[in-house]
Amino acid sequence: MNEIKYKIKDRITDLRKEKKLTQEKMAKIFNVGISTISMWEQGQRIPRPKLLQEICDYFNVDMDYLMGRSDIKNRYQAGLKYDWEEEPSNPVDPIIEEYKLSPEEIVEFEKVISINGALMFNGKEVSQEDKEELEQTLKRIFIRSLLLKRAKERDENGPKNS
């Protein structure tokens, strides 16, 4: 399953409880329904990228902490430099590093790859070989979409005037 999703759910739950917030109070803070908070905490949904950042800002934690890639809540407050070259504690897909995915893009990437989880066909689980082939196809589609999105954003921003 989606490893990031399960880390996010635990972090959101822990942060809410540390601040002694009820799900109802947290729902009001982030302008969402109580059921949305519940689904986040159960790992049924992931907050939208904009909300992920709002959650980080509210609880004063880094996105890496919220996503489970670091156990340090706030590197700046801990007196640590942000070293983007440090080795992550979890194995990272080369695509994440090669294309320098943002936290929001990583969440989307994980969603795409998780589609391949418990794949069934005619009531039987698909072979490992077929899963690997599908994963490679999903990665190619993700990369193509990512590059198109980035090109569109560059075009929309236009050339910089000096």
Q: Which whole number is the average pLDDT over 1-16?
A: 79
Tell the CATH superfamily of the 3-66 domain.
lambda repressor-like DNA-binding domains (1.10.260.40)
Pairing state between β 124-125 and 120-121: antiparallel
Predicted pLDDT of residue 27: 95
Q: Is the pLDDT of residue 161 over 80?
A: no
Q: What is the pLDDT of residues 60-113, one digit of tens each?
A: 888 888 888 788 887 666 565 444 434 444 556 788 778 888 877 887 887 777
Q: Which whole number is the average pLDDT over 48-62?
A: 89
